Amino acid sequence: MNNDECLEFRPGEIAIRTDPMLRIQGYKNLDRVRPLIKKTARDMARLAAQTIDAVVHYRQLRISECTDGNLILEGGTVFRCDAFSKYHAASQQVVVFVLTLGKGLDEAGMNFSKQQQLLEQLFLDTAGWVGVEAVNKQFVVHIKEQVLEQGYRLTRRMGPGYTFKKDGQDCPWALEDQKPLFALFDDTELPVAMLESCAMMPRMSRTGLYGLVPIQTRN
């Protein structure tokens, strides 16, 4: 992976399991789920797997400074979250990414909504978020292999719009930081658009970054 170069990752086959979908919807005892609910979950998992067109765009960038809650990248991009000092004090670089499952799921969900098929819409939406997690896991495996060759390990994922713990306190990373994150991909035609609210379209999309920490070697 070359610094500053925008790269693209496309995952392999995405398997969407229905058990996590049902648990997300609050079904604790899966043996007691009604047959109609199980069938709908299976059907929507199958539809999602067929509809997903996943891709991740990412780039590796050096950190200039990480102090006082500011994560400053070479080039001047600034992200603000009080938890950065906890998670990225030892990071020398970051991998910044934009992930999406494509617009197909949004279109299918809108069709269900128009037809008042709300159960199908609900489980298709749930299948989509399970799919986002599955794609993210494949992406992590991919970049772990790349950065290991450079002598780095990954930190946990952080992303705008999420809250992180530091010293027992909640530290939000404002969703508005999507703007400088997307600006890092101004030279790339992304299949994801940022709305004025800083939400994304397609809906089944995710942004964030991973820190790269040098692996300590022993003599």
- H/E stretch holding 208 reads strand 205-214
pLDDT for 2 equals 54
Confidence of residue 219 (pLDDT cuts 50, 70, 90): very low
pLDDT above 70 (res 196)? yes
Residue 84 token pair: 């950065």
Confidence of residue 216 (pLDDT cuts 50, 70, 90): confident
pLDDT above 90 (res 102)? yes
pLDDT above 90 (res 153)? yes
Chain-centre distance for alpha carbon 90: 22
Q: Tell me the average pLDDT across 155-183.
A: 96
* pLDDT tens digits along 44-88: 999 999 999 999 999 999 999 999 899 999 999 999 999 999 999
pLDDT for 1 equals 63
The CA-based dihedral angle spanning residues 126, 161, 211, 168, taken in that order and rounded to the nearest 10 degrees: -100
Respond yes or no on whether the N-terminal peptide bond of residue 202 is cis (omega within 30° of 0): yes
* pLDDT tens digits along 116-151: 999 999 999 999 999 999 999 999 999 999 999 999
Round the average pLDDT of the chain to a whole number and report it: 94
Confidence of residue 217 (pLDDT cuts 50, 70, 90): very low
- Which domains are delineated in the chain? 7-213 (3.40.109.40)
pLDDT for 123 equals 97
* pLDDT tens digits along 6-38: 999 999 999 899 999 999 999 999 999 999 999
To the nearest whole percent, how much of the chain has pLDDT over 90? Answer: 95
* β-pair partners for 102: none
Angle at which helices 35-51 and 104-114 cross, to 10°: 140
pLDDT above 70 (res 198)? yes
Q: What is the pTM of this model?
A: 0.93
Confidence of residue 218 (pLDDT cuts 50, 70, 90): very low
